[in-house]
């Protein structure tokens, strides 16, 4: 999607200027991976409009493979606006009937997954339209049949759908998910359990790796039956949006590096910490050198 935001806090109605950027959980993850040198592709649909060009240019500029992005002549590219009023962030979506809401089973050829280790999906897609709700389980099954592991981030967005619908859609995905990522707040909104009950229940539903993201507090996880806790990194938060996607990119990159569960979680927390220190959904994500320096707590004099 295109993201429209004023450069300073305040009500949108009084904004004298806005900036155009992009957002979108899946493209954020792809960009996060690409910045770390992990080859990543993005499957989506964009309008044949100027906003579609903007999204395509920015995602491509990050080195993400966009060959599987479909352009749709009669649908607009999705849009979202954000404002910060008395310290609280609010987003407004303009994505009903968007090009991305036409994602449906059969969207991509299994050949798109050739050489892939993971297909990363998020629950947001399921909220866009009935056909995009069907896309998610189809995509997960297609990946599994091709021997590709599936990671799934619940990513509940209360402005798009009701908790009961989001919960049912997520639960239907679980048998075909290898890595499940869920935020503590959304877990409580959907399942109402405490963190530990939530982890156990979700881990019993299929995924071998279940990670509960707890923001600045880090994360807890059950990985192949082992329970782990990983603390967050103390940083000054400027903008929380995109942190979960950064976390997902870190977790997947570390898995692909062959790191063990504790290091995967630590890397994921570090990526989240990078993200929240900058404005924008993905702009602050690090390259490999920056991430390594942060993980090693090496001081970079910057000049
Ligand atoms: O996780 C960050 C995303 O929420 C943001 O980039 C936009 O995909 C988005 C959404 O639907 O909120």
Give residue 153's pLDDT: 98
Instruction: Return left, alpha or beta for 281; rule: phi > 0 is left, psi -120 to 50 is alpha, else beta.
Output: alpha
| Local confidence band at 50 (pLDDT 50, 70, 90 cut-offs) | very high
Q: For residue 210, list its beta bridge partners.
A: 180, 222
Give residue 181's pLDDT: 98
Compute CA distances 117 → 24, 144, 149, whole Å.
21, 10, 6
Q: Residues of CATH 3.40.1190.30 domain(s) within the chain? A: 1-24+44-102
| Residues annotated as catalytic (active site), given as ranges | 245
Q: Residues of CATH 3.40.1190.20 domain(s) within the chain? A: 25-43+104-295
DSSP letters along 109-173, please?
-GGGGTT-SEEEEEGGGGGT-HHHHHHHHHHHHHHHHTT-EEEEE----TTTS-HHHHHHHHHHH
Percentage of the chain beyond pLDDT 70 is: 100
Q: Does the Cβ of 124 fall within 6 Å of ligand 1?
A: yes
Lowest mean pLDDT among 13-17, 46-50, 200-204: 200-204
Q: Is a pLDDT exceeding 90 seen at residue 115?
A: yes
Query: The pTM is what?
Result: 0.96
- Residue 3 CA to ligand 1 center (angstroms) comes to 10
Q: Does the Cβ of 157 fall within 6 Å of ligand 1?
A: yes
Q: Does the Cβ of 244 fall within 6 Å of ligand 1?
A: yes
Give residue 193's pLDDT: 83
Closest-CA residue, ligand 1 atom 10, reads: 24
Q: Label the pairing between strands 70-72 and 45-47.
A: parallel
Compute CA distances 223 → 204, 207, 272, whole Å.
11, 9, 20
Q: Does the Cβ of 207 fall within 6 Å of ligand 1?
A: no
| Local confidence band at 23 (pLDDT 50, 70, 90 cut-offs) | very high
Compute CA distances 194 → 84, 164, 188, whole Å.
29, 18, 7
Q: Which of 2, 21, 28 to mutate to test the pocket of ligand 1 (most atoms within 8 A of CB)?
A: 28
Q: Does the Cβ of 242 fall within 6 Å of ligand 1?
A: yes
Mean pLDDT of 68-94: 95
Q: Does the Cβ of 24 fall within 6 Å of ligand 1?
A: yes
Closest-CA residue, ligand 1 atom 5, reads: 24
Give residue 194's pLDDT: 84
- Residue 99 CA to ligand 1 center (angstroms) comes to 16
CATH class of 1-24+44-102: alpha beta
Average pLDDT over the chain, rounded to whole?
A: 96
Which tops the pLDDT comparison, 303 or 278? 278
pLDDT tens digits, residue range 264-298? 999 999 999 999 999 999 999 999 999 999 999 88
Mean pLDDT of 8-24: 95
Mean pLDDT of 46-70: 98
Packing angle of the helix pair 25-35, 243-256 (nearest 10 deg): 50
Q: Does the Cβ of 78 fall within 6 Å of ligand 1?
A: no
Asked if 219 and 265 count as a contact pair (C-beta separation under 8 A), the reply is: yes
Q: Which of 1, 2, 21, 25 to mutate to test the pocket of ligand 1 (most atoms within 8 A of CB)?
A: 25
Give residue 47's pLDDT: 98
| Local confidence band at 75 (pLDDT 50, 70, 90 cut-offs) | very high
pLDDT tens digits, residue range 141-181? 999 999 999 999 999 999 999 999 999 999 999 999 999 99
Q: Note whether ipTM > 0.85 here.
A: yes
CATH architecture of the region 25-43+104-295 = 3-Layer(aba) Sandwich (3.40)
Give residue 196's pLDDT: 83
- Residue 93 CA to ligand 1 center (angstroms) comes to 10
Q: Centre a 10 Å sphere on the Cβ of residue 236 and count the other Cβ atoms it contains.
A: 7
Give residue 197's pLDDT: 86
């Amino acid at each position: 999607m295109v993201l429209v935001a004023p450069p300073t806090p305040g009500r949108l109605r009084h904004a004298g200027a806005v900036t155009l950027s992009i957002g979108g959980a899946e493209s954020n993850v792809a960009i996060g991976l690409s910045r770390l040198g992990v080859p990543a592709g993005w499957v989506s649909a964009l309008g044949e409009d100027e906003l579609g060009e903007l999204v395509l240019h920015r995602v491509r500029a990050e080195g993400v493979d966009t060959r599987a992005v479909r352009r749709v002549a009669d649908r607009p590219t999705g849009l979202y606006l954000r404002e910060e009023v008395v310290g609280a962030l609010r987003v407004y979506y303009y994505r009903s009937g968007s090009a991305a809401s036409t994602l449906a089973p059969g969207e991509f050829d299994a050949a798109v997954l050739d050489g892939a280790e993971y297909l990363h999906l998020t629950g947001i897609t399921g909220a866009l339209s009935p056909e995009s709700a069907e896309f998610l389980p189809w995509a997960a099954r297609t990946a599994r049949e091709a021997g590709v592991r599936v990671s799934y981030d619940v990513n509940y967005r209360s402005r798009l759908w009701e908790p009961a619908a989001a919960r049912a859609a997520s639960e239907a995905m679980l048998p075909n998910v290898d890595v499940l990522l869920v935020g503590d707040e959304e877990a409580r909104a959907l399942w109402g359990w405490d963190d530990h009950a939530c982890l156990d229940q979700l881990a019993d539903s299929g995924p071998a790796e279940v990670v509960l993201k707890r923001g600045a507090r880090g994360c807890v996880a059950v990985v192949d039956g082992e329970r782990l806790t990983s603390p967050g990194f103390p940083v000054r938060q400027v903008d929380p949006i995109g942190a979960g996607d950064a976390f997902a990119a870190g977790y997947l990159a570390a898995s692909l590096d062959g790191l063990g569960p504790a290091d995967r979680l630590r890397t994921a927390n570090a990526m989240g910490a990078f993200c929240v220190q900058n404005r924008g959904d993905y702009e602050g994500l690090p390259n490999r050198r920056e991430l390594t320096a942060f993980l090693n707590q090496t001081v970079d004099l910057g000049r």
